[in-house]
Structure 1
Amino acid sequence: MTKQSRMTMIWLLLFVLCCPYALLAQEQRATVRGIVRDEKGLALGYVNVAAKNNATGFTAGTQTDSTGVFRFAQLPAGTNYSFTFSYVGFETQTLSGYTLKPDAAFTLVVKMKTDTKTMDEVVVIGYGSQKRELLTSAIGSVKAKDFVKGAVTDAAQLIRGKVAGLSVITPDGNPTTTSQLSLRGVNTINSGSNPLILIDGIPGNLTMVAPEDIEQIDVLKDGSAAAIYGTRGTNGVILITTKKAVKDLPPTIDINTYVTTQSISRRLKFMTPSQYRELVAAGKPGAQDFGASTNWLNEITQTPLSQVHSVTLRGGSKNTGYIASMEYRDMNGIVQNSNNKTFYPRLAVNHTMFNGMLKIDASILGYQQKYFAGTEDNASLIPNSYRGDVYRNALTYNPTDPVKAADGSWTQHTDKTDYVNPLSLLYETVGLNKNSDFRTYGTITFTPLSGLEFKLLGSHDVYNSLRGYYETKHHISTIRDGKNGYASRGTLQTREDQVDFTSQYNKDLKDHHFTVLGGFSWRKAFSESYYMNNWDFPTDFFSYNNMSTGKALSRGEATEGSNASESRLIGFFARVNYNFREKYLLMASMRREGSTRFGADHKWGSFPAISVGWNIKNEEFLTDSKLLSTLKVRAGYGITGTEPGSSYISLNKINFDSYTYINGEWIQVISPGNNPNPDLRWETKREFNAGIDFGFLNDRVSGSVDIYKRTTRDLIFDYPVPSPPYLFSTITANGATMENSGIEAALSASPIRNNKFQWVSSVNYSHNTNRIVSLSNDAFQLASGYSDQGSTGEPIQSTTHRIQVGQPVGNFYGYQSVGIDDNGHWMIRGSDGNAKPIAQQQPTDKRVIGNGLPRHYLNFNNTISYKKFDLSMTMRGAFGFQILNMAQMFYSAPVMLARGNVMQSTYDNLYGKRPLADDQSLQYVSYYVQKGNYWKIDNVTVGYNLALPYKNFQNMRIYAAVSNLATITGYAGIDPEVSIGGLAPGVDDRNRYPATRTYTFGAFFTF
């Protein structure tokens, strides 16, 4: 579907929906205004308001704005009007018997009562929900009204800085980049560290649903909460709940539209043309003047304009509710040709019959996406619209070089390693990635008796990816490598099916309340892919669309291949929740789960959990306290697991990818592909959590504190083994142990709260300590006690990190620099503690020189509203970590003049002595491992609510926002927010996409 056809559909929908209102324009009308408050007189925002003429059947709907004000413009005059007000946590209220006279206007003042039965039933837990007051586990919950405002690229950015212990990192400004998540530290070595993400109970990812369609996000942080998900719960669970269809709501349309632009938040200072020519004049080795003056970074960047448009239609009758939405996101990056165009359709319908005994929910959601394929991507689901060498070469390409030579060709220097004209990389590449992911799912809920509920959930999800990539005959691959046109194509499809059946029974026996849940879950995942490449094409005309015309494949030089894999996961689970007078609380659960990814001897595992709580505030001696509104202590223990990262790694695989020459012909060789391991099993995490929840002055001040300790055993690792008896030198097996412990604290307050002015402030803090207890067990040993990870790349060719017994994950491991000598060469600390020249370095001289994982996170959020104005500000920081500044390590050394431009700091004095020598080779030393502490003013949004004097419009909000407004840091790189994933975190990659500051202007309409 083209952009033009999508917009045509949107306007057609709006026209059809607005026609009934237009036909009523000739009738005599009246205007109704009002304000909705709670029992304390405070304004309630986003309350659903329905108007109905009981005589004619006419209905209309709207919502209050953030100040509690609503408005119906020009309702048809008539008698017997009623107005219904509904809001989660409050009793639905209906005011009846109103007569609207022609051209009259009147005002309603509504005071809604708290619904004590439902106000806390908003926290989503595994396979259900629970009152916050009765929670015994560590769960963070953020509702839509508290989401981060302004432009966001995925669901995680909505709650960045909102949940203690959850780190949400955006490592660059690439429009296809998704957030990195870390919950309570690193818990695994070989497997992924991302939490399990469930969208309405079904596994998904951060980009599966449009951010504007999300109603609430809940984070299951500790083992007692996550154990119900068994082998998928070790890294925590994030539950995303989409907006639901609402019954008894007149047709209402919400439109959200905004535009954004960006600028580079910080530029690295490289030599300008004039400064570079000074180096040429000084006779610096490698400096050459080609006569031009070019700002290469300006050449590859642009001032991007992005836009997001979302339309939502919702409404319903007594028994049926519906919600339909369409969202179009056209995101453009600050580097030319980096983009991301996504279309999100969604439809959800629910229907209740047999007096509420049977309820059916059905939904379709997904997305279509396309973006420029700036580089080849032949394996993964990860979007790749940008190649890192574009930015890197824009920094390092000689500023005296012209963009093009006299003959119109790109200037190139094929005699230099890893040195390419960045514009040629952009414009001599043709590529497009097209992805789609659509999910159909539904639930049937049957309630035959009061308190007894049966629910069946089914879903079918299909992801398709089609990739094409081509390098023209003017690309460096032809000029330098002789490819004569290079192309590749790839496809990937994944299909996931899931069936869950649960039964739940609620029973009250006087002061005792029980909730018993039992269920079964079945999930099947299948993927298949195909990839091929070819080169030496007769023309650029076909790009990647006529692969057979390339000659390399016929010569046996190119490659092609396909793959398919399948896995199944089956689980049986049960949970019991008990409370006595809502004072003494208990939750216990058990999951028995089997996976085809485990070895033949360990297909099944058990994952129990138990947690308890004491609502001290509900004790008789505190029930009358006006100062204390909440006081609860809780503790829990749970066991979760981690599946292996892929299928079949426990099995004996056969290779067919090699040939041998026998009797004058090539014969395909069949050979074993790996060491099988029938004992491969799940990683097991055991976690203890203790916490306290408190609130004062009717929760005007509230908060929580949690402490935890988690031990993960049987970590999956690739171990060295003797050959023979093994066929290969490594085997994937369980053997390592890791510990994490920490503390989390959250505090929220409303210092000012009255009818006109409200101020809500919250702060949260988290601290985590990680330690590797062991890398071996009785069967498999890592004799050295360590494993080196990460890489600097050439020409240094050194690992950057070491995971070692007794040490935390993330340690930088290298030479500790202590100065430079009189000749400008590095001095390092030797293994004996004494200084020595870098030329005398030995592997034993290396030591821990920092750690790339922050030990402390602090977030500070504020929301202020005054009359119709609102202001929100989010600030966040990370402390106690270091960053390897790769750009400085490579490009502040004089020796790199031979490869292009260098930084302006290259000839600054080091250690107060002198600059590095011109012949000092690149070295990985601690001088480049720098403090990464930072404090960001992350997002500032200003909004204004107003009612438009038109019959069809009920409410409008305009807003402006700035993201990544300011960063306070001593770090010398472009941005201290760097990748925290994997076993080599904290590296500021020299190929990194620039960090950006985003400016947003938008409007939200309801009619």
Structure 2
Amino acid sequence: MNGMMLRKTSFPLLAVIRSYMSADTLASFGRFFLRTSLLSAMVLSFTFMNLYAQDRVEVTGTVTDATDGSVLPGASVVVQGSEELTGAMIGTVTGMDGTFTIRVPENLNVLTVSFIGYISQNVEIDGRTSINIQMQPDVRLLGDVVVVGYGVQDRREITSAVASVSEDRFVTGNINEAQQLLQGKVAGLIITRPGADPEQGFNIRLRGLSTIGAQKEPLVVIDGIIGGSFDSVDPRDIESIEVLKDASASAIYGTRGASGVILITTKSGGALPEGGVSVTYSGQVSSSIVANRMEMMTADQYRQLPAAGFTISDFGASTNWWEEITQNAYTHSHNLAIAGGNATTSYRLSGSYRDIEGIQKGTTSQRLNTRLNLQHRALDDRLTLTGILSITDRQADVGNPSVFRYATTHNPTAPIFNADGTFREITGFDRYNPIAMNELQTIDTEFNRINLSLRGEYDFSDIVDGLSGAVFYSREKSDFFRGEYRSKNLDWGDGMGRNGLAFRRSDESRNQLFETTANYRQTFSAVRLESVAGYSYQEFAFQGQGATAGNFPSDATLYHNLSLSGDISDGRASMFSYRNTNKLVAFFGRANFTIDNTYFASATYRREGSTRFGIGNKWGDFYAVSVGAELTNLIDIPFADQFKVRASYGETGQDAPSSGLSRLRFNTQGNFLVDGNFIPALAPASNPNPDLKWEVKREWNVGLDFAFFNDRFSGSLDYYQNVTSDLLLNFTVPVPPNIFPQQWVNIGELSNKGFEAALDYLAVNKQDFTWRTGITFSTQETILESLSSGDLQFGDRQLISNVGSPGLNNTPMIRVQEGRPIGELWGKRFAGISTSGEWLFFNANGDIVRSAETSEADDQVIGNGMPDFQLGFDNTIRYKNWDLNMFWRGAFGHDLANSFNIFYKNPNTAFGWNVTTTALELSDLREDPQFSSFYVEDASFMRLENLTIGYTFDLRAGSPLRNMRLYASGNNLWTITNYTGVDPEVRFEDNGNPLAPGIERRDQWFTQTSFVFGIDIGF
């Protein structure tokens, strides 16, 4: 055949490292490393000589739990003062039987013993050679400590809305993205990705829509790195995830906390007996198949339409287009982690590799993540140094979602090829061969990220009791590349008539963060204070370039040699480049008070400055207060272990979405032929607005945390209201007096309210049988209160999100009005079909009229794209060595405009396209498609998101294995819904517009069901 399969070239991971280190840099580093190594060796030699010159006494002992007498393997035992005396810390860790042996210099007399979850002890030796040490559990640590902004808190003392999900509660199965771990697990957090495109990003909303033109998704913080990205960490490397939901919890992050905050903590190493090493391997292989698609007519069914009175185009073949463009997709993933440590130093090195196939033929993705976590303690544990290095490399052959559209709608009687082997194309609008689209274009992407973070903490308690300080620095470098090429033989889209079309772009970003904090903890009689104060400086730099060109002599070079383009000489080629920087500077503080372990209060303040705003508006102040009370300490509540009420208020902000929005900006405005040469023209791209300032969100939250029956039944309830004012929006302004019709302004208000519930119940707790079940439930409503201010008026309404072609380009589906909920679908209310084959609708008076007799005044609300409530339902059962997890997720009350049905559930369109198997339900219709309530469907669904069954093997004594588990899993196994489209999943926006949820477009992937087999092994 004439067409060629276009594939991407390979991009080595070393290119990332080379971008950091030139040959000169590597040579300099080598010389530095050699010199440093020699010097270190000399220092160590003298240190060891000095160390062993000391007279020592051998001390042995056992470390046990004071409550039940069980031994504690891996506890740290350090000789206090040894580092000052000898130049190196003397320490060890207990063995598997809890015992230790340590040689102590004669003039030192104190052992410091510590273990995670227990209160550290200083034990005097006093001439003893055998010491048995009993450690008391640290109730605060064992009582469910939660990571919050710049610290941790006992969950029982938290007065904000915070949700925590640990590794054992993550979503399991075919998980390739960290976001998937949280789907349905946190009340109020909605994570969606309609269809099965592995390279499509997730839509994440926490407590609704709090902004229109700024950052709509929660801020991500990974191990203290503000503005982190989910794709920089492998799901297997995550230990826990906390979600800061209300403003009192997120206000300490100021400008970027308005949409909530997600804190990710990755796994780290720990002390092992005799400095041992722990090795874990997790591997899985999965197969994915098409789960759901539009049901269209087969060639035989299509050929029966003339008998019903409809015209078709019969080309004599029988082609199942969707089978031709899809495949059974196979994925394999591997994660290997090595961890270990001793009394002073711990480490964890992990590497993961994922090779992912998509259900669209030719789509693949390779992902490599490596992460190194190091921690070292010195100066009698007063100094803690932590370093984290992570490297991410992702490469993909990306699929074009339009292939699914045309595989659904293309004539089933058309052949794939012509007699000469070229692809068969049907004459007419929007009738493209999907196989040609899939095979005659290439879309490659590559993403690399390197991140290094360093943290130093020092305990100043010997100077000021309860005082500690920390310094944190991180540097992140990200590079993104995208290359596209459409063959000379592909007659589709913007490549039509271009004789080959190439596009390539590269983007770079740099992110540096420096923070210093001071923590002070003190108890004053019945009052305990925990406070933090700090300074933050963050600097961003972005740059990139791209070019588009066509008219190539051959397809051989793809997008790799744009100089061959004939468009360069005739002015049709285009290019762009950009560079911008911005900085954020902040001062912040928080104080938490606990009184008699009964009353709790917290106050937070952050003052932040951004270079993205005009003079006089660069700084914003954000604060929060919250209170709570543990009622079980005040009144007798039967069977209650906790019954804490809390309330909070906070203000957070939104930074401008990009730099320079307050200034007069110019952009290129095409090329003009002047004296035989093409000259680029500049024109204004935005009006200046020196008064541009922060968005501000004000939020109120009341909540209840409870636990009954020895914590077997627990949960939380929250009700919130928030208002975002001074929305950042690119608004239409009059010309004149302005020189451009768009200007970034602060205008309008959004409001949200909702209720959230999270319940957990340990239904059965026997030695060989446990059953735990949990439910998350949330409601949410967003109102557009206003989009007007002064002379800038929004008007009566805006009509957006047109249906599209063919024939409905000027038919909107969404109406936006001040004072009404976000997500309303407006249109005619379907009444039936007349005996003469015309559409019948209800007019504004409720009368049934023909479509020709209606107007916009007859439009009414026919649906809403936002759900009334969301639900997650989790069940985990363990019987002896077996474990079973079943997780359901659902959304209820939302509607979707089914774009496929609008155009193709109509037998009158069969002449040009295939139609749905239900098209003959409208066999009396003789008119073209018209948007109405007939095509808006209730998309409520309940989905069996994951079902996993596993078996953990008993290991023989002396086995080199620490643990081994086999499991099988299925994802997206069953969806209960009445929706007839591809995927009933909530759509938060349409073509990037958050004011237009509730539309399922035609250009999207089918859904998939995955079956997974995996193994977890520990050595």
- TM-score tier by shorter-chain length is 0.7 to 0.9
| Deviation per residue, 1:872-903 (Å, 9 max, x gap) | 11112111111111111111112322322111
| Deviation per residue, 1:841-889 (Å, 9 max, x gap) | 3222222211101021121111111111111111121111111111111
1:340 aligns with 2:365: yes
1:916 aligns with 2:925: yes
Q: Is the 8 A contact 1:61 1:251 kept in 2?
A: no
Q: Which residue of 2 aligns with 1:615?
A: 630
> Which stretch of the first structure deviates more once superposed, 244-253 or 650-659?
650-659
- Percent identity, aligned pairs only, is 35
1:463 maps to which of 451, 455, 478: 478
1:842 aligns with 2:868: no
Distance 1:601 1:91 in 2: 50
Distance 2:254 2:944 in 1: 38
> Which stretch of the first structure deviates more once superposed, 295-304 or 711-720?
711-720
Distance 2:230 2:1000 in 1: 24
Q: Kindly report which structure 2 residues correspond to 1:779-928, keeping only aligned pairs within 5 A, or say none.
A: 779-784=791-796, 786-795=797-806, 796-797=808-809, 798-909=811-922, 915-917=924-926, 920-928=927-935
Q: Is the 8 A contact 2:891 2:986 kept in 1?
A: no
User: Which amino acid is the alignment partner of residue 1001 of structure 2?
Assistant: D
Q: Which residue of 2 aligns with 1:313?
A: 338
* Gapped regions of structure 1 (runs ≥ 5): 7-35, 63-71, 73-77, 94-110, 373-384
Q: Which residue of 1 aligns with 2:347?
A: 322
Q: Which residue of 2 aligns with 1:650?
A: 662
Q: Which residue of 2 aligns with 1:168?
A: 191
User: Which amino acid is the alignment partner of residue 222 of structure 2?
Assistant: I
| SS in structure 1 of the partner of residue 569 of structure 2 | coil
Q: Is the 8 A contact 1:251 1:313 kept in 2?
A: yes
Distance 1:951 1:212 in 2: 25
Distance 2:234 2:207 in 1: 26
1:558 aligns with 2:573: yes
C-alpha displacement at 1:120, in angstroms? Answer: 3.0
Q: CA 1:274/1:122 → structure 2, altered by over 3 Å: closer, same or farther? A: same
Distance 1:711 1:79 in 2: 59
Q: CA 1:502/1:479 → structure 2, altered by over 3 Å: closer, same or farther? A: closer
| SS in structure 2 of the partner of residue 129 of structure 1 | strand
Q: Is the 8 A contact 1:178 1:206 kept in 2?
A: no
Q: Kindly report which structure 2 residues correspond to 1:638-787, keeping only aligned pairs within 5 A, or say none.
A: 638-658=650-670, 669-784=681-796, 786-787=797-798
1:225 maps to which of 239, 242, 249: 249
Q: CA 1:92/1:600 → structure 2, altered by over 3 Å: closer, same or farther? A: closer
1:131 maps to which of 131, 154, 159: 154
| Deviation per residue, 1:232-264 (Å, 9 max, x gap) | 111111101111221346200000000111122
C-alpha displacement at 1:514, in angstroms? Answer: 1.0
| SS in structure 2 of the partner of residue 117 of structure 1 | helix
> Which stretch of the first structure deviates more once superposed, 320-329 or 204-213?
204-213
1:252 aligns with 2:307: no
C-alpha displacement at 1:512, in angstroms? Answer: 1.1
User: Which amino acid is the alignment partner of residue 850 of structure 2?
Assistant: P
1:939 maps to which of 914, 927, 946: 946
| SS in structure 2 of the partner of residue 476 of structure 1 | coil
| Deviation per residue, 1:22-53 (Å, 9 max, x gap) | xxxxxxxxxxxxxx999899x99xx987999x
Q: Which residue of 2 aligns with 1:987?
A: 999
| SS in structure 2 of the partner of residue 394 of structure 1 | helix
Q: Is the 8 A contact 2:396 2:445 kept in 1?
A: yes
Distance 2:972 2:680 in 1: 56
1:588 aligns with 2:603: yes
User: Which amino acid is the alignment partner of residue 725 of structure 1?
Assistant: P
Q: Is the 8 A contact 2:13 2:393 kept in 1?
A: no
2:499 maps to which of 465, 471, 484: 484
Distance 1:51 1:942 in 2: 37
Distance 2:402 2:114 in 1: 55
User: Which amino acid is the alignment partner of residue 394 of structure 2?
Assistant: Q
Distance 2:678 2:877 in 1: 75
Q: Is the 8 A contact 2:865 2:986 kept in 1?
A: no
C-alpha displacement at 1:832, in angstroms? Answer: 3.7
C-alpha displacement at 1:665, in angstroms? Answer: 7.1
Give the TM-score normalised by the residue count of structure 2: 0.85
| Deviation per residue, 1:797-831 (Å, 9 max, x gap) | 12221221111111112222222211222122223
| Deviation per residue, 1:415-445 (Å, 9 max, x gap) | 2212211111111113321111111111111
| SS in structure 2 of the partner of residue 904 of structure 1 | coil
Distance 1:51 1:431 in 2: 53
Give the TM-score normalised by the residue count of structure 1: 0.86
Q: Kindly report which structure 2 residues correspond to 1:183-262, keeping only aligned pairs within 5 A, or say none.
A: 183-202=206-225, 203-248=227-272, 250-262=276-288
Q: CA 1:808/1:366 → structure 2, altered by over 3 Å: closer, same or farther? A: farther
> Which stretch of the first structure deviates more once superposed, 602-611 or 795-804?
795-804
1:954 aligns with 2:962: yes
| Deviation per residue, 1:730-770 (Å, 9 max, x gap) | 32211111111111112111111021111111112111122
1:1002 aligns with 2:1017: no
Distance 2:642 2:100 in 1: 47
1:500 aligns with 2:500: no
Q: CA 1:471/1:37 → structure 2, altered by over 3 Å: closer, same or farther? A: farther
Q: Is the 8 A contact 2:218 2:257 kept in 1?
A: yes
Distance 2:597 2:670 in 1: 68
Q: CA 1:230/1:787 → structure 2, altered by over 3 Å: closer, same or farther? A: farther
Q: Is the 8 A contact 1:477 1:483 kept in 2?
A: no
Q: Is the 8 A contact 2:622 2:651 kept in 1?
A: yes
Q: Is the 8 A contact 2:624 2:648 kept in 1?
A: yes
Q: Which residue of 2 aligns with 1:391?
A: 404
Q: Is the 8 A contact 1:644 1:682 kept in 2?
A: yes
Distance 2:765 2:675 in 1: 90
> Which stretch of the first structure deviates more once superposed, 178-187 or 111-120?
111-120
Q: CA 1:512/1:657 → structure 2, altered by over 3 Å: closer, same or farther? A: same
C-alpha displacement at 1:709, in angstroms? Answer: 0.8
| Deviation per residue, 1:891-924 (Å, 9 max, x gap) | 1112322322111111114xxxx5422xx12211
Q: Which residue of 2 aligns with 1:331?
A: 356
C-alpha displacement at 1:571, in angstroms? Answer: 1.0
Q: CA 1:902/1:571 → structure 2, altered by over 3 Å: closer, same or farther? A: same
| SS in structure 1 of the partner of residue 812 of structure 2 | coil
C-alpha displacement at 1:729, in angstroms? Answer: 2.5
Q: Which residue of 2 aligns with 1:976?
A: 984
C-alpha displacement at 1:705, in angstroms? Answer: 0.9
Number of paired residues? 917
1:930 maps to which of 928, 937, 954: 937
Distance 1:352 1:479 in 2: 60
Q: Kindly report which structure 2 residues correspond to 1:10-21, keeping only aligned pairs within 5 A, or say none.
A: none
Distance 2:247 2:872 in 1: 24
Distance 1:663 1:260 in 2: 62
Distance 2:210 2:910 in 1: 43
User: Which amino acid is the alignment partner of residue 840 of structure 1?
Assistant: E
Distance 2:446 2:457 in 1: 37
> Which stretch of the first structure deviates more once superposed, 322-331 or 115-124?
115-124
C-alpha displacement at 1:473, in angstroms? Answer: 2.1
Q: Is the 8 A contact 2:93 2:271 kept in 1?
A: no
Distance 1:716 1:802 in 2: 21
Distance 1:577 1:176 in 2: 42
C-alpha displacement at 1:212, in angstroms? Answer: 0.4
Q: Is the 8 A contact 1:173 1:993 kept in 2?
A: yes
Q: Is the 8 A contact 2:271 2:340 kept in 1?
A: yes
Distance 1:86 1:404 in 2: 73
